[in-house]
Structure 1
């Protein structure tokens, strides 16, 4: 079976660092330890899903604030 490269490419490559930082912040808030080696295979799907869900909520919130010009 061949491996496919992710189709999720960033329009702004420098955003990767900001997204990684957001991932670690959200995981810390949820009390979830992210593997240091970067391999998520041993993590529970529930944990990775929770991190992804919270990241999505936060990104939507940031976008809404930018669209309305409102800053907290």
Structure 2
């Protein structure tokens, strides 16, 4: 809802800054600028792409027996 605060907390120290940087890298690769003047679909597609990449990363490391 409008005016609600984000209560999500990262699982580890420093994760918020890394995720924020990752978000802007993904948006840049997609040719998008994030912001309040963009549609929910545009901003949301960046989050979806981030999730896809993080899952792919985890699956690759699990296949190789590497602990993340």
| TM-score bracket relative to the smaller structure | 0.7 to 0.9
CA gap of 1:3–1:33, structure 2 versus 1, over 3 A, is closer
2:44 aligned residue: 49
CA distance in 1, matches of 2:38, 2:52: 21
Q: Give the number of equivalent residue pairs.
A: 65
2:24 aligned residue: 24
CA distance in 2, matches of 1:7, 1:31: 29
CA gap of 1:70–1:27, structure 2 versus 1, over 3 A, is farther
Q: TM-score, normalised by structure 2?
A: 0.76
CA distance in 2, matches of 1:69, 1:16: 27
Q: Which has the higher contact order (CA 8 A, sep 6+)?
A: 1
Higher mean alpha-carbon deviation, 8-17 vs 47-56, is at 8-17
Please report the RMSD computed on the Cα atoms of aligned residues, expressed in angstroms. Answer: 2.2
